[in-house]
């Protein structure tokens, strides 16, 4: 059994693509022997790791023998978060997400090699990318376009409303950027998806169907994935938290469900 003690290491990486220093927190179990299958989770909005209770959650899951060995890299966002996050190459109607392509380059070309060099043992297991709100949209986009680097994606209260046209300018569902990305992608990326919403994520209901937009937009992502040939529950898990809000405490409560989905032990001792 892996130790419930977690080593947290703070690192900084100078990014050529983002033209700034990126702060990281790396979480690893403290008694790795080197013969384990070692998994990797990249997590956007890593500045919230403490409020998420991430270290305690990992300790509990290891103590209960519920997850395999895992390196978690919490990537702290900067003041340019609204520009670095989004869908690469497709800014929204306000021009936000203009640096999303650079963020993708940072993840693939700088961060992943950096982490592998920092970690004592080879990362030879599953690789997942997860995030919250706009960070979840970004994790989906990066993994979708780089499935040779990732096996799974986790999205907590994803900003799937991200759109090319404002509501007051004749917006339709076809203006949602990520949904169109899925539709227009000719290949079927080799990924599995865990998508979470809270029933109190928001109040907005633009189509007046008595379902909040965050749930509608997430369900519509699932519909497009199903059209691509993905299957439920093998490829897609949808987790709707009753009473869940668009906030860090809610996402912290949902984290064990995601971690056991992505990295759960196949056999319990």
Q: State pLDDT tens for residues 179-223.
A: 999 999 999 999 999 999 999 998 987 888 898 899 999 999 999
Q: How confident is the model at residue 268 (pLDDT cuts 50, 70, 90)?
A: very low
Residue 171 has pLDDT above 70, yes or no: yes
Average of per-residue pLDDT across 243-264: 98
The answer to whether 188 touches 229, Cβ cutoff 8 Å, is yes
Mean pLDDT of the chain: 94
Residue 255 has pLDDT above 70, yes or no: yes
CA nearest 1: which of 64, 89, 94?
A: 64
Residue 267 has pLDDT above 70, yes or no: no
Structure tokens at 81: 């978060």
Measured distance CA(220)–CA(238) in Å, rounded: 12
Q: How confident is the model at residue 32 (pLDDT cuts 50, 70, 90)?
A: confident
Measured distance CA(41)–CA(128) in Å, rounded: 5
Q: How confident is the model at residue 48 (pLDDT cuts 50, 70, 90)?
A: very high
Q: What pTM was computed for the model? A: 0.95
pLDDT on residue 121: 86
pLDDT tens-place string over residues 98-137: 999 999 999 999 999 999 999 988 899 999 999 999 999 9
Measured distance CA(213)–CA(137) in Å, rounded: 15
The rounded percent of the chain whose pLDDT value lies above 90 is: 84
CA nearest 69: which of 255, 264, 256?
A: 264
Measured distance CA(41)–CA(43) in Å, rounded: 6
């Amino acid at each position: 059994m892996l130790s419930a003690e977690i080593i947290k290491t703070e690192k900084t990486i100078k990014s050529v693509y983002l033209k700034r220093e990126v702060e990281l927190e790396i979480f690893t179990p403290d008694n790795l022997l080197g013969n384990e299958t070692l998994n990797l989770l990249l997590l956007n909005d890593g500045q919230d790791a403490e409020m998420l209770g991430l270290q305690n959650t990992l300790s509990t899951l290891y103590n209960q023998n519920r997850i395999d060995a895992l390196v978690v890299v919490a990537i702290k966002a900067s003041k340019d978060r609204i520009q670095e996050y989004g869908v690469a190459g497709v800014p929204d109607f306000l021009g936000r997400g203009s640096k999303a392509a650079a963020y993708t380059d940072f993840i693939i070309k700088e961060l992943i090699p950096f982490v592998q060099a920092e970690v004592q043992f080879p990362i030879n297991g599953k690789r997942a990318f997860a995030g919250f709100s706009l960070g979840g949209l970004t994790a989906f986009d990066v993994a979708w376009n780089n499935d040779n680097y990732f096996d799974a994606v986790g999205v907590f209260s994803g900003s799937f409303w991200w759109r090319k046209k404002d509501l007051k300018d004749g917006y339709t569902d076809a203006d949602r950027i990520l949904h169109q990305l899925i539709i227009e992608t000719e290949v079927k990326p080799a990924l599995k998806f865990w998508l979470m919403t809270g029933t109190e994520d928001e109040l907005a209901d633009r189509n007046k169907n008595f379902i909040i937009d965050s749930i509608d937009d997430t369900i519509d992502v699932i519909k497009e994935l199903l059209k691509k040939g993905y299957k439920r529950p093998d490829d897609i898990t949808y987790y709707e938290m009753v009473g869940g809000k668009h906030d860090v405490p809610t996402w912290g409560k949902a984290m064990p469900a995601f971690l056991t989905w992505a990295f759960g032990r196949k056999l319990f001792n």
